[in-house]
Amino acid sequence: MPRHGLYWLGQDLRLHDNPVLYDAQHQLDSLTFVYIHYKSQRLEPYFNSAPSQIKQAFIHDCLVDLDHQLGVYQQHILVRNEPPLLAIDKLIHSCAITDVFWTRQFGWDEFEIWSLLQKRYPNIKFHLYESYTLYQQHQLTNVLSDFPQSYSKFVKQLAATIESPLPPPESLPPPVQQREHNLYPSEQALIVSGGERQALKHTETYFSSSLPAHYKDVRNALMGFENSTKLSFWLSTGCLSVKQAYTTVEYYEAQHTRNDSTLWIKKELLWREFFQWYAFHYQTKLFHFSGIQQHKPLTSYYASRFQMWVDGTTPYPIVNACMHELKETGYLSNRGRQIVASCFVHELQLDWRYGANYFEQQLIDYDVASNWGNWQYLAGVGADPRGHRQFNLEHQVNTYDPDGAYIQKWHGKAQCFPLDTTDAADWPQ
């Protein structure tokens, strides 16, 4: 009996280190690629899933790049703008699908859809792969059975070996459906280009320089594109494999130098890993107001304060500058994210979930686990053993923008009008 595969693409927009493609080349008679744009049906009042135009453009360009590369294999991507259950249902019937392939994602909505598909189609084989993380679930049995309450405990329990990245497939089965229309790059100006080829090019360029050896010294800078690895852009969409990133650091250490900076890059990749399995373990608690700590912060929702924060019109110049950069570029440094999140929770006393959701809309390098896990961390309801961290904004300015260059560049002038100018019942729509 012929085997016809359907590959539901998500955060795995690449050819290298892609176990789905590695297996598909030997197992299937045909393969259909589909990427589905859809709006989550979460009903929480803080939630708005509409991504910014910048974020949409970056994802689109990632798809364009993958589609172009698949052309070498006489393959292409079908793009759908409808609920996944409906889109996949149509393709299962039109392409006589026998096997469905998916890379595990760590958002609860996506996994719930995957579970519903399995129940709806008991006669179809469903193949779940794990290539968005350094480790696979079966390698972390001891860790996941009693999940560590902190990053440090998580790392101490890691004993498994990180497997080597897989090469791109030599060939791929043909598609069933013909191409419907060509994908063209977006016209949106972006600070980086999306796609696997740009990811690999950037990785090679960065690790061919001396920058990794000085990373720890400059990683907290608010300005300077070269002051962080910028790997998060492509890790978030799966254009770059995290195993590829980690092994590249190790290769750099073997060929050049191993110091605190290279170790710190690997540490941040392990922080990312921690948050993925944190999301896997706590499931919907990742989005709860009381977090994993099961206690509610003394914050609420104030419409005018939230809008000031979004627009960069708060009384705090450094926060305003950061918010302007985020809205204009779809990116914000790690230090900037911590500053605006701390202000959101502590100075503005806002419900942290609104801030996390705004980041979800805006950030090009948005990752559900890292984003919501870090917001819980700052709000004092997450994995931080110290709890409730508050940044002194004046100290942040004196340390990271002493000459005011960043505030000036991003027009962070303080606004001095009252924080609350509208009724707090003015819930966002």
pTM of the model: 0.94
DSSP letter string, 89-126: HHHHHHTT--EEEEE---SHHHHHHHHHHHHH-TTSEE
pLDDT tens-digit map of 15-39: 999 999 999 998 999 999 999 998 7
The answer to whether 319 and 312 have CB atoms below 8 angstroms apart is yes
- Residue 364 per-residue DSSP state: T
To the nearest whole percent, how much of the chain has pLDDT over 90? 86
Cβ neighbours of 225 (radius 10 Å): 10
Q: In this structure, which amino acid lies at residue 286?
A: L
pLDDT of residue 143: 93
Report whether pLDDT(291) > 60.
yes
pLDDT tens-digit map of 371-418: 999 999 999 999 875 666 789 999 999 999 999 999 999 999 877 655
Report whether pLDDT(150) > 50.
yes
Domains contained in the chain, CATH given? 4-132 (3.40.50.620), 196-282 (1.25.40.80), 303-409 (1.10.579.10)
Average pLDDT value for residue range 349-364: 96
Rg (CA), the chain: 22
pLDDT tens-digit map of 247-281: 999 999 999 999 999 999 999 999 999 999 999 99
3-class state of residue 35 by DSSP? strand
Report whether pLDDT(138) > 90.
yes
429 confidence band (pLDDT: 50, 70, 90): very low
What is the C-alpha separation between 288 and 341, in angstroms, rounded? Answer: 17
Helix-, strand-, coil-residue percentages of the chain, each rounded to 5: 50, 5, 45
pLDDT of residue 417: 58
Can you count the helices (H) and strands (E) in the chain? 18, 5
What is the C-alpha separation between 162 and 47, in angstroms, rounded? Answer: 36
What is the C-alpha separation between 98 and 111, in angstroms, rounded? Answer: 20
Report whether pLDDT(427) > 70.
no
pLDDT tens-digit map of 77-119: 999 999 999 999 999 999 999 999 999 999 888 889 999 999 9
Decide which of 329 and 40 is more confident. Answer: 329
48 confidence band (pLDDT: 50, 70, 90): confident
pLDDT tens-digit map of 299-335: 999 999 999 999 999 999 999 999 999 999 999 999 9
The answer to whether 34 and 8 have CB atoms below 8 angstroms apart is yes
Q: What residues contact 310, with CB distance under 8 A and at least 6 apart?
A: 323, 327, 358
Read off the tokens for 341.
């999140």
Average pLDDT value for residue range 170-177: 94
